[in-house]
Structure 1
Amino acid sequence: MATFQNTLHVSEHSADGKLYALLSFDGKLKIWNTETNEFQREFVPNFHLNAPFTCFTWITVDGTLGPRKTPQKKAQQSTEYVALGTRSGGVSLYSYSKSEIEYNLKGEGHQGSITAICRGKNNVLFTCGDDCRVIVWSLETGAQISSWEIGNEKPSSLVYLAESNRLVVAGRQLYLWSVENQELEQTYTGHSTNVTMLKYLVVKTKEFVLSASKTDRILTLWRIKAAKKSPNSYTYLMEDIPYSVASRVEDDRLEIAAVTRSGVLHFFAVDSLGKSIEQASNKPMKPTLTIEIANDVSQLVEPIPICSVSMEIGRAQKKLQIGYGDRQVLRFELVEPDFNERRQVLIRSGSKAVSNDAAAKKRTTNALKTITPIVNLENVEFQSKEVVPRKGNKEIPMETRLENLTFDSLGQSSAVGRNVAQLLVQALHSHDANLLRMVFLNKDEQIIRATLKRLPPQYISSLITELTVLAQKKTTHVHTSILWLKHLLQTQSSQLMAIGTIELYATFGPLLGIAEHRANTFQHLTKLSGRLDLLVNQIKQNTDHDIIEDSDLLVYEDKDSSDEDGIPQDEESSDDQWDDDAAEEEEEQVEGMEVCENGGNDSDMESDMDDDDDDENDAEEDESDDE
C-alpha cells in the first residue's frame, strides 16, 4: 500500500515484484517492468474530469470485475489492476493490460481525500480518509459495502491482517479494529508523528506489523495481540527517514531491507524472531549491512540514489532487487548482499544506461525512424498564387519561397518563442550545456515569456535546477537566472501550485538559499562600501588644497597728467621721495619710543655712557689743539 504522505512520490511493487508503479506529484502514473528494465505504461488523467490521485495499491482480480450484464462464456485469467484513491473520496481501478481506467467504484465515498487503501479477503478493498472513516468496497459488485467511524484522529495508513481478519489503522498511534464487529480492540503507541507505512508479517502463525513514521529514523516491529506484561515492539535504527521497505520471512528468520530518503539501503537480519521479541530492550537494533551506489563515469565520484527495494523476485537466491536512478530514468538490478563488510558500495554507470542491450537497440532504432506527415494539398492554403508542385516537378523558385514567408509584427515573436521553446526542451532533456547557453542568451522578455508559455510541465523542475546552477555563477549569469525565473513564476504559476508543498519547497530550496546568502553578503558589502567612501572623502579633504595664484589676473593702467606732460613713468617724483623719507623717520621715532618705554638693557645703558665719555674726551682734545 502506497500513501501520499509517504515520500516525495508514491511508489510500490506488485505482489510478485515484476512491476513497479510510481505516482508523481504531477498526477502521472508510471509503470516499469523490473525484469526487463523497460518503461511500459504512463497514464495521465484528465484533471478537469477526474480528481487527482492520492494513494494506490496493486490488486490481482480473477475473472470479471464489477457487475456484468451479459455472462462471460470463458473464464478470464487473473488481471493486474491498480486501485487508485482520489482526492474527492472515490476509488478508480486502472487496468494494466488496457492502460486505462476500467472501472470507478460506486458509493457515497469519503467526505474528503483518501489517505490510504489496502486489499482484503474475498475481493474487498479498505480505504480511510480525512473524514476519519473506514469504508469497505466490493470488487465483485463494484459498490460500497459498509463504513464506520474510527475517532477524531485522522488516519494516514492502514493494513489488513489476513490471519485474524482484523484491520490496523494508523495515525500517530496504531489502532487494531475487528472487521466483523467494527470495534476497537487494542492501541499501540510509539511514534511521534503520523505513520506513513505499514507492512504485514506472519512468523509461525504469529502476526506482526512493521511501521514507519513521517519524521522518525526508526522502524518499529509490533507484536499483535501480545500479552500486556511482555514487550510488544522492537525497533530498528537507520540514518534517515525510510521511504521504501521490503521484508522476507523464512522459518524464524526475519530480513528487512529499507531505503532511506538519502538513497541508502539498510539491511537488518534477525535469526530468531521469537526470542528477539521476548528479549527486546529499549535499545534499537543497528543495520547488519549498508549498501550504497556510486557513479564511475565522472572523475568525481557521485552517489546514485536508491529509490526502491523488493525481495520477491530474488527470494530463492536470497538476493535483493533494487531500483536506482531518478524519477525520469530508473534501472532495476538483483544484488547479492555481502556480509563480510558492514558497508558495501556498488560501482555502476549512470541511470540512463540500460542493461538490456537488445531493448536499448530496439528503442534507438524506433527513435531514429521518421514519420512523413500526410498532407492533403486540396486543404492547403498558400500565401502566393503559385501552387507548390508535387515531388518530381520543377523546383520552386526563390521568389516564390520568399512570398510564402510572410511575417506580421504580432506573429513574429510567437514564432521565435516556439522555436526557442523546442530548443529549450531539447537542452533540458539532453542536459546539453551549449544548447542551454544558446537559449539563455535571449534577453528579450517577449521571447522569454513566449518560450515559457510553451514549455511542457514535466520540464519545469529541470529548468529550475538549471537556473539554480546559473544563479551560483557571476553577475551576468545571475541576472539571466533572475529574469527567466521571474517570467517562469508569472507564466507557470498554476503548474507550480499543482506540484505540492513538499515538492515545491524541495525544488526552490537551493534557490532560496542562494538568494538569501547573496542578500546577506550584499548588506555587508554595502556597509563596507559606505565606510570606504567616508575614508576616501576624508583623505581628499586633507590632501587637496586650493591653489591660489599670486599673479594678477588683470592689470589696468590709467594715464595721469604727468604722462601727458612727458614725464616718464619709471622715474619717481620728488613728492614720492619726500613721502618715503618721512615714513622712514616716523619708523625710527617709533622704535626709539619703544626702546624708552621698555627701559632698555643694562648693556645698552653702559654703551651709551661710554659714548658720552668718548665725546667729552674728544672735546678736550679739540680745545688743546686750539690752544
Structure 2
Amino acid sequence: MAADGGCASLPCVFSPKSRQYLAVCAQDGRLRVWNTDSKTLHQEYVPSAHLSAACTCIAWGPCRAAKEGPQRKKRRSEASRAEEKSDLLAMGTAAGDVLIYSTVKGALHCTLDGGHVGGVNCVEWHPEESLLYSGSDDTNIIEWELQTGKKRSKWKADRAAVTSLCVSPDGKLLLSAGQTIKMWDLDTKEIFRTFTGHSTTVTILRFATTRPPDGNGLYFLSGASHDRLLSVWQVREDGKDKNSVVSFTLTDEPKCIDLIASNGKEEALRLAVVCNDGQLHLFEHFLNGPCRKPLSPSSSVQVSDNKDSPSPVPLLAAVLGAEMRSVLLAYGNHLQPVMERVEISTERDVCLTRDVHASLALSIKTTVSKVKTPVSNAKSKVLVPGLPGHQAPIRAAPQGSEKRKKGSDVKQMSITERLGEIDLSSVSGGKSARKGTDALQTDHFAVLLVQGLESRDANILNKVLQTCKETVIKKTVARLPLPAVLPLVEELTKRLQGHPFIASLMVRWLKAVLMHHTSYLASLPDLVAQLGVLHHMIESRVKMFHKLTKLHGKLYLLMTQVATSDSSNAVAGVDHTAKLVYEEESSDEEEASGDEGLPHDDSDNWEEEEAMEEDKSEQTDEEEDDPVRTGSKANGEEDMEHGNECEEE
C-alpha cells in the first residue's frame, strides 16, 4: 500500500503479499499492529515523542527472511524453504524524522533523523535495494541508506511540499508529486517527464503496469485531495503525454488504494479504492490506450450495522485477494478495527450488514506489551488527578502497620480501597474541615469548562460559554490547563458556525484564548491541520463584509427614497370631502316650497318669525296632549273649509 501522503485521515496499511498484519497509527501517536488471521493485537509501539511528533505516514518494506533470534540449527532442506515475511515498517513523523520499526523484534530498528526540517508526508521503499525515499514539507526528497542509517542523496523536488512518492517496479524511476507530477531517473536524479493536470494536492501515486519504459506500455495513476477522480497517465516515447488517458469516477476523495498491476494488454488492471466517505469501489479495465468517457466502478461496497435504523460503518482499508472477487476489508474504529475477508458478488451496489459492537467487545491480547503491577511503598505519596491547586488530602497510613519482610507477598489495594483512603470530610466545607486545607472548587468556571470538554456535556458547556463578562472570560481562560486549550478551540469553532448571536459570544472566548495561549498553540507541530477549519471560516466571513456593507448602503438609500416619496404623497393628496353630513328634518310644505319659506340673510324680521314658529310649536304640543280638543278643532276646520268653498262658489 502506498502511504497516505498528506491525507487528513489516519494511516492504515496492510502488509504486502501475505496480508498477515494491519498497521494503524492512532491519534495519540501509538503504532498498533493487528494480526489479520487471529483478529488480535499483535504489537503496540509508543514512540518517545509520540505526542509532539505524531506519525503522518506508514509504508511496509518488501518481504525478507528476517532472523527471529537464537533457534536451533536447521537442516539444509529447511533452510532452503525459509519463508520471507513482512518485517520492517517505515513511519514518517511531523518532526521530520523517519522511524524504522521491526515487527520481528517488536522494537525500533533505527531512526533516520537530521534530513528534513519539515514534517514528512510520504515514505517509499525501493523494491530491490535497501533504500528508502522520503518527501517532506521542505520540498526535498531524500534517499536513505538503511544499512548505515545515513542519507545517500538529497535534492529539491518542487516549489511546494512533496506529498506523495512511488518507485517503479524495476527500481529505475521515481514518481513525486507536489504542485505537479514529476518522474525522476534514480541513477542521475534528473527529471525524466513532467505531468500536469491536478489543481489540488496529489496524495496518491501508483504504477499500474510492470513493464519497463521501452515503449508506450508504462502506465501510472494518481489521485488528489478534494477530487472525485482517479487519473491514469501513459508514459509515451514521443513525450506527448500531457493529458490523462483514463479516469475512474469515485463518490469522494480517495483515501487509500490497492491494485494488481497489469503485465500486458491482454491482462486487465484490478483496482480497489477506499474513499473518505467509507465506501469501497472496485474497477477492472484493460490499459490499451486513451478512453474519453470516465469509467464507473464495477461494484461498490458499503458496510452498515444491524440496528433498526442502520447507520454506515466506515471502511478503513481494503486489499485485493488472489481470487477474482476476494477482498480483505478493515472497517470500524481505528482503536480496534474489524478485519474480514469477503467474497464480493457481481452486483453493482453491495451492502454488508455486520454487528460491529459484538466485534468490538472482543478482548485485546498483546504478545509484546505487558502490564506490570507497581510495588507501592508506605512512604510514597499518592497523587490525585485534577487541576493544579485542587488537592484531596490523603489519610496517613496507620502507625501500627507491620514492616514488609523480604520475599513476603504484598497485597495490593483495590480501587475501592484507594478511594476510601481519600478523606473527603476535610474538604466538605463543614465544621470538621481542618485549617490550612483548600476545599475542592467544583463550581469554578475553569473546572466546569474542563469537565464539560472532557465529558462533552452540552449543559455544562452552555452554562460556561454563555458568560458575557469579559473579566470572567479572561480569568477562566488564563486558569485553563494547556491540554484543554485545543479542545476548547475546537468547541468554539463548532459554535462559531451557528447562530450569529452565539457566534458573537464565542468571538470573545476566542480572543481570550489567543491572548493567553498563542505561544502554546504556536508550539504544536500540526497546528495547520487543527485550526484549518477555523481559519477558512473566518476568512470566508471576512470576505463577505465588503459585500454586506455595499448591500447595506444600497438598501439604506432605497429606504430613504421610499420614505420621502411616501411623505410627499401624503401632503399632496388631502381629501376635501366631508366625512359626516348632518341634515334637519323638514315638513312636507317646506319640501314642496323649497327654499322659498327660508328667511333670507337680508331680512330684518327674522327674530319675529322665529318667535311665531315657537308659538305654533307650543300650540301643537298642547293639542297633542288634549285629544278631544284636537278632534273638535279638526272638525271646525273642516266646516270652515266647506263654508269657504260655498262662498267662493
Change (3 A) 1:294 1:222: same
The answer to whether the aligner puts 1:604 opposite 2:605 as a matched pair is yes
Q: Which of 341, 345, 350 pairs up with 1:344?
A: 350
Shift of 1:118: 0.8
Corresponding residue number in structure 2 for 1:109: 115
Q: Which of 206, 210, 226 pairs up with 1:215?
A: 226
Corresponding residue number in structure 2 for 1:561: none
2: CA distance, partners of 1:330 / 1:494: 37
Corresponding residue number in structure 1 for 2:135: 128
Corresponding residue number in structure 1 for 2:455: 427
Q: Which AA in structure 2 matches 1:304?
A: V
2: CA distance, partners of 1:371 / 1:42: 20
Q: Which of 39, 43, 46 pairs up with 1:43?
A: 46
2: CA distance, partners of 1:398 / 1:175: 67
The answer to whether the aligner puts 1:297 opposite 2:324 as a matched pair is no
Shift of 1:157: 1.8
Change (3 A) 1:302 1:202: same
What does residue range 285-434 of structure 1 map to in structure 2 within 5 Å? Answer: 285-297=295-307, 299=309, 301-311=310-320, 314-316=321-323, 318-340=325-347, 342-350=348-356, 353-355=357-359, 359=363, 374-377=376-379, 388-389=397-398, 406=434, 408=436, 412-413=440-441, 427-428=455-456
The CA RMSD measured in Å over matched residues stands at: 5.6
Change (3 A) 1:296 1:379: closer
1:155-188 Cα deviation digits (max 9, x unpaired): 3322111326211222333322221232322223
Change (3 A) 1:290 1:133: same
2: CA distance, partners of 1:204 / 1:513: 48
Q: Which AA in structure 2 matches 1:453?
A: P
Structure 1: state its 5+ residue gaps: 66-72, 532-597, 612-627
Q: Which AA in structure 1 matches 2:44?
A: R
Change (3 A) 1:225 1:378: closer
Shift of 1:404: 9.2
2: CA distance, partners of 1:194 / 1:110: 20
Shift of 1:236: 0.7
2: CA distance, partners of 1:380 / 1:58: 43
Q: Which AA in structure 2 matches 1:376?
A: A
- Structure 2 contact 181–196 (Cα < 8 Å) conserved: yes
Shift of 1:484: 8.3
Corresponding residue number in structure 2 for 1:254: 269
1: CA distance, partners of 2:521 / 2:40: 31
Q: Which of 185, 193, 207 pairs up with 1:186?
A: 193
Q: Which of 9, 20, 23 pairs up with 2:22?
A: 20
Corresponding residue number in structure 2 for 1:575: none
Corresponding residue number in structure 1 for 2:619: none
2: CA distance, partners of 1:183 / 1:18: 37
Change (3 A) 1:514 1:135: closer
- Structure 1 contact 125–138 (Cα < 8 Å) conserved: yes
Corresponding residue number in structure 2 for 1:31: 32
More helix by share: 1
Shift of 1:125: 1.0
- Structure 1 contact 318–336 (Cα < 8 Å) conserved: yes
Corresponding residue number in structure 1 for 2:149: 142
Shift of 1:213: 1.6
- Structure 1 contact 268–289 (Cα < 8 Å) conserved: yes
Q: Which of 233, 240, 244 pairs up with 2:256?
A: 244
Q: Which moved more, 1:285-294 or 1:77-86?
A: 77-86
Corresponding residue number in structure 1 for 2:531: 504
1:169-215 Cα deviation digits (max 9, x unpaired): 22333322221232322223332233211113335675432211223
- Structure 2 contact 45–107 (Cα < 8 Å) conserved: no
Change (3 A) 1:486 1:56: same
1:124-153 Cα deviation digits (max 9, x unpaired): 112234454433211112222223444656
2: CA distance, partners of 1:297 / 1:496: 41
1: CA distance, partners of 2:601 / 2:160: 116
The answer to whether the aligner puts 1:267 opposite 2:267 as a matched pair is no
- Structure 1 contact 413–446 (Cα < 8 Å) conserved: no
Secondary structure (helix, strand or coil) at the match of 1:202 reads: coil
- Structure 1 contact 8–502 (Cα < 8 Å) conserved: no
What does residue range 467-478 of structure 1 map to in structure 2 within 5 Å? Answer: 468=494
2: CA distance, partners of 1:494 / 1:328: 31
- Structure 2 contact 258–271 (Cα < 8 Å) conserved: yes
2: CA distance, partners of 1:186 / 1:513: 38
Shift of 1:414: 8.3
1: CA distance, partners of 2:605 / 2:251: 107
2: CA distance, partners of 1:321 / 1:115: 26
Change (3 A) 1:19 1:414: farther
Aligned length: 498
- Structure 2 contact 15–86 (Cα < 8 Å) conserved: no
Secondary structure (helix, strand or coil) at the match of 2:208 reads: strand
Q: Which AA in structure 2 matches 1:46?
A: A
Secondary structure (helix, strand or coil) at the match of 1:359 reads: coil
Change (3 A) 1:105 1:422: same
Q: Which moved more, 1:97-106 or 1:206-215?
A: 97-106
1:54-107 Cα deviation digits (max 9, x unpaired): 444222575789xxxxxxx9999867333233456543323445665442236x
Shift of 1:285: 0.9
1: CA distance, partners of 2:45 / 2:178: 31
1: CA distance, partners of 2:607 / 2:441: 112
Secondary structure (helix, strand or coil) at the match of 2:363 reads: helix
Change (3 A) 1:281 1:349: same
Q: Which AA in structure 2 matches 1:31?
A: R
- Structure 1 contact 224–232 (Cα < 8 Å) conserved: no
